[in-house]
Amino acid sequence: MARSPDSLSAAPIKAVVFDAYGTLFDVHSVASLAEQLFPGHGDALSHLWRQKQLEYSWLRAMSGRYKPFWDITRDALRFSAERLGVPLPAESEQRLMNQYSSLSAFPENLSALRALKAAGLPLAILSNGNREMIEVSVRSAGMTGLFDHLLSSQEVKTFKTVDRLYALAPEAFGCRPREILFVSSNCWDAVGARWYGYTSFWINRTGAPLDRLDTAPDHIGSLLGDVLAVACPAAA
């Protein structure tokens, strides 16, 4: 069930935009393969890999040193393997990278996306990922045809939470940020989107506390299906 931590007047929602990694696609679905390759280290590798991937994107965004997200993801994997003291031969590295390109979708996502689409709302992905990464992930998850736009950091050569990346969706849909519901499972991303001006929705799947950033997302839920009640109340 979605809840709203603030009482700001709501703008009518004209489009819904989703973060990709961690929101639509489960970044930790690589853990089973990692465990096969590195027994006893799979879960630790998965979590450290994701942590370093995000850290590298933030550092590069702050310093203006853009590098495609695919390459950052590989750099983060290499660091994580070295940090954990596990060997990473080229074949294992490529298997893990291939797995990352076709991450599993969360189980409820397809039905929720189809319901939003059936309600007449245009949908998009806005992601740090480069476009080819997003396209492959969408195809492998069976989501082809559900999105009107696939918006990538590659277009603006920076990462979240830089404004010019968030600006891609209002430009694509031709409406104000507040009329777009931005959905992310990363609290910092949902807050960054709200800073930019979106109506934001945090999918808090793990029951985590709010990030202390002096701003809260407009709405909080635990599943992607909770978005429906906010985006199109009449259809919920």
Q: Which residues contact 42 (CB under 8 A, 6 or more apart)?
A: 31, 32, 33, 34, 35, 36
Cβ-based neighbour number of residue 10 at 10 Å:
14
Catalytic residues: 19
Query: Where residue 85 falls among pLDDT bands split at 50, 70, 90?
Result: very high
Q: Answer whether 0.85 is exceeded by the pTM.
A: yes
Expressed in angstroms, the distance from the first to the final Cα of the chain is 11
Beta partners for residue 81, in sequence order: none
| CA of residue 145 relative to chain centroid, distance | 19
For residue 183, give the nearest of 152, 157, 162, 204 by alpha carbon. 204
- Contact criterion met (CB below 8 Å) for 177 and 196: yes
- Contact criterion met (CB below 8 Å) for 76 and 53: yes
* Domains (range + CATH), the chain: 15-25+104-235 (3.40.50.1000), 27-101 (1.10.150.240)
- Contact criterion met (CB below 8 Å) for 28 and 46: yes
214-224: per-residue pLDDT in tens? 999 999 999 99
**What crossing angle do the helices spanning 90-101 and 69-84 adopt, rounded to 10°?**
130
Judged against a pLDDT cut of 80, whether residue 201 lies above it is answered with yes
Judged against a pLDDT cut of 80, whether residue 2 lies above it is answered with no
**What crossing angle do the helices spanning 69-84 and 42-63 adopt, rounded to 10°?**
130
94-148: per-residue pLDDT in tens? 999 999 999 999 999 999 999 999 999 999 999 999 999 999 999 999 999 999 9
173-178: long-range contacts, CB 8 A cutoff, minimum separation 24: 173/14, 173/15, 173/122, 173/124, 173/148, 173/149, 175/14, 175/15, 176/11, 178/11
